[in-house]
Structure 1
Amino acid sequence: MKTALITGANSGLGLATARALAQRSVNLILLCRSERKGREAQLSIQQANPAVRVDLITADLADLASVRRATVQVREQYDTLNVLINNAGYTPARIEFTPEGIEKSFFASHIGHFVLTHELLDLLKKSATATEPARVVTLSSAAYLGGRTSRFFRRIETLSPTLAYCDDKLANLLFAKELAKRTAGQNIVSYSVHPGAVKTNFGADTPGFLGKVFALVGPLMRTPERGAETSIFLASAPLKAIGERNNGAYFADSRPKTTYNGDITDEKAAWLWEKSLVYL
């Protein structure tokens, strides 16, 4: 039986992904910031398939000490980890900065997931085989189009929540791309995902232009179940169906897609990785 860890699994895409994997007989570790919401999700997922193990670990991706405590817990309690889905993310209602001077949503979405993944790499490698590699699926978005690496790691007081979100999603895509390169030959595959425009609570408190966009397009958005399909595909489909040459690729609608942002280069991906290493 495989085991998958999903961040932000208490609602929306994460919850839909967890339920679907439970129905595919995958044991689950739910990494959630809120214990109360996590417990509610845990019960809901367990009902989807009482035969699987569903555990909850609480952690705040914007707090690296919290992330490290969670990874110690995972390594102590589990002998295998086959799939890591870096799903959690949010659109900030207002721009805030961490004590490190990094915009908070970027810190949680990229740096938090970077540290989480790094701390679990040995367990992923240990769980992988030549025929069934461990998988890391990182949620990005078509919003990567508006992202710029020149804003990464900078304290920009005038940054808008919209552009902060775009930067987060570009970082997620670049991280997935570089992870594939750094783990080549180690039986780990890495992908980034655009789930489509999904109707969840995501962005519900977002002010300004982006909040109006979310409100206007809400009726046209996909359900979380539909939006989770690509993550589920990458987490569970045979590698042949995904395509071995697509390691590191950006996927939408369960297919690899061409990206259109001049900052998506091997050099920028390597630069982001090196800049992120200071937080380990």
Structure 2
Amino acid sequence: MGTKTALITGANSGLGLATAKALAQRSFDLVLLCRSDQKGREAQADVQKANPAVTVDYFIADLADLDSVREAAGQITAKYPQLDVLINNAGYTPARLEFVDGIEKSFYASHIGHFVLTNHLLGSLKAAGAGANGPARVISLSSAAYLGGRAARFFRKIDDLSPTFAYCDDKLANLLFARELARQTAGQGVVSYSVHPGAVRTRFGADTPGFLGKVFSLAGPLMRTPEKGAQTSVFLASAPMKSIGERNNGGYFADSAPKNTHNRDINDEKAAWLWEKTMPFV
């Protein structure tokens, strides 16, 4: 039994798996959210090896299927009335444009799916945040690709949108969500951050066509290992709050330090608009 409990989405491979193992080694109990039962069981066994003394559990949900997200969230809150850390790690790079309810699928899964999950878990997060281990922490994986994102494209069906810019939009939305979540939960025992893990060498994006796929392929030898890429998420999940800095709530982190952002769409007004626009999906 660990000292804290962390839930990680997309925890069966890459960054998510590396993050889960690192937190297990720091005596966290782990809850893994995966898309298939087989991958969940395999990840559970893998993470358990990192520290046999902690509890490792898993649940199944597809972030592009909001009914499955709500069902999993209900199961999780019933079993875990207190949740110390939520890491919205699962990421998607669109191999081709697909749409769910008229919204580009990777944006739907990466932003809307995580938004719905987080809101359904807020009760467990606030309950943990009110305890001795508080505040609870929500960590959303973004990327430096946010630089190419544009809020004007959010929620729109754009048939000629490139996979590259679809990915950039996802990452901008993740950053804005983390920013607004900090404002929405201020004083309620929950803090929120977004993270750039660096260019990480995983299977993520391997099948992406066009320019973005070429970048993933050519940059492979220069990329970080998943263990290195997970370090900032692990830092934000486990470091004392004084090391993170109370004033950095809602901030964007890379290399375990807060960073300035450079996109005209990153402001309080856009963050609040995104929250309001997404809330009906909850």
TM-score, length-scaled by structure 1: 0.98
Partner of 2:4: 2
Q: Following the alignment from structure 2 to structure 1, what is the Cα–Cα distance between the partners of residues 18 and 115?
A: 23
Q: Following the alignment from structure 1 to structure 2, what is the Cα–Cα distance between the partners of residues 107 and 20?
A: 29
Residue identity over aligned pairs, in percent, reads: 73
Partner of 1:106: 107
* Secondary structure of residue in 1 paired with 2:155: coil
User: Would the aligned equivalents of 2:89 and 2:141 in 1 still touch at CA under 8 Å?
Assistant: yes
Give, in angstroms, the shift of residue 17 of structure 1: 0.2
Partner of 1:136: 138
Residue correspondence of structure 1 range 39-118 to structure 2 within 5 A: 39-98=41-100, 100-118=101-119
Q: Following the alignment from structure 1 to structure 2, what is the Cα–Cα distance between the partners of residues 148 and 96?
A: 19
Choose the corresponding residue for 1:17, options 13, 19, 43. Answer: 19
Q: Following the alignment from structure 1 to structure 2, what is the Cα–Cα distance between the partners of residues 79 and 151?
A: 37
Q: Following the alignment from structure 2 to structure 1, what is the Cα–Cα distance between the partners of residues 140 and 152?
A: 22
**Alignment deviations for residues 106-161 of structure 1 (CA, whole Å, 9 cap, x no partner):** 00000000000000001100111376200000000000000000000000000111
Gap change, CA 1:217 and 1:83, over 3 Å in 2: same
Tell me whether 1:224 sits opposite 2:226 in the alignment.
yes
Q: Following the alignment from structure 2 to structure 1, what is the Cα–Cα distance between the partners of residues 67 and 187?
A: 30
Q: Following the alignment from structure 1 to structure 2, what is the Cα–Cα distance between the partners of residues 188 and 177?
A: 12
Partner of 2:169: 167
Q: Following the alignment from structure 1 to structure 2, what is the Cα–Cα distance between the partners of residues 78 and 238?
A: 23
**Alignment deviations for residues 35-88 of structure 1 (CA, whole Å, 9 cap, x no partner):** 212211110100111111101101000000000000110011113100000000
Choose the corresponding residue for 2:32, options 13, 30, 37. Answer: 30
Q: Number of aligned pairs?
A: 279
**Alignment deviations for residues 213-235 of structure 1 (CA, whole Å, 9 cap, x no partner):** 11110000000000000000000
Q: Following the alignment from structure 1 to structure 2, what is the Cα–Cα distance between the partners of residues 276 and 15?
A: 28
* Secondary structure of residue in 1 paired with 2:103: coil
Gap change, CA 1:59 and 1:241, over 3 Å in 2: same
Tell me whether 1:200 sits opposite 2:202 in the alignment.
yes
Look up the equivalent residue of 1:182 and give its one-letter code.
Q
Residue correspondence of structure 1 range 122-161 to structure 2 within 5 A: 122-129=123-130, 132-161=134-163
TM-score, length-scaled by structure 2: 0.98
Gap change, CA 1:204 and 1:44, over 3 Å in 2: same
Q: Following the alignment from structure 1 to structure 2, what is the Cα–Cα distance between the partners of residues 182 and 79?
A: 21
**Alignment deviations for residues 82-103 of structure 1 (CA, whole Å, 9 cap, x no partner):** 00000001101001001x1110
Partner of 2:280: 278
Partner of 1:250: 252
* Secondary structure of residue in 1 paired with 2:96: coil
Q: Following the alignment from structure 1 to structure 2, what is the Cα–Cα distance between the partners of residues 256 and 127?
A: 25
Q: CA RMSD in A?
A: 0.8
Partner of 1:181: 183
Look up the equivalent residue of 2:200 and give its one-letter code.
V
User: Would the aligned equivalents of 2:81 and 2:123 in 1 still touch at CA under 8 Å?
Assistant: no
Runs (4+) of structure 1 exceeding 2 A deviation are 129-132
* Secondary structure of residue in 2 paired with 1:6: strand
Query: Does 125-134 or 261-270 show the bigger shift?
Result: 125-134
Look up the equivalent residue of 1:185 and give its one-letter code.
G
Q: Following the alignment from structure 2 to structure 1, what is the Cα–Cα distance between the partners of residues 263 and 80?
A: 39
* Secondary structure of residue in 1 paired with 2:99: coil
Look up the equivalent residue of 1:137 and give its one-letter code.
I
Query: Does 34-43 or 228-237 show the bigger shift?
Result: 34-43
Gaps of 5+ in 1: none
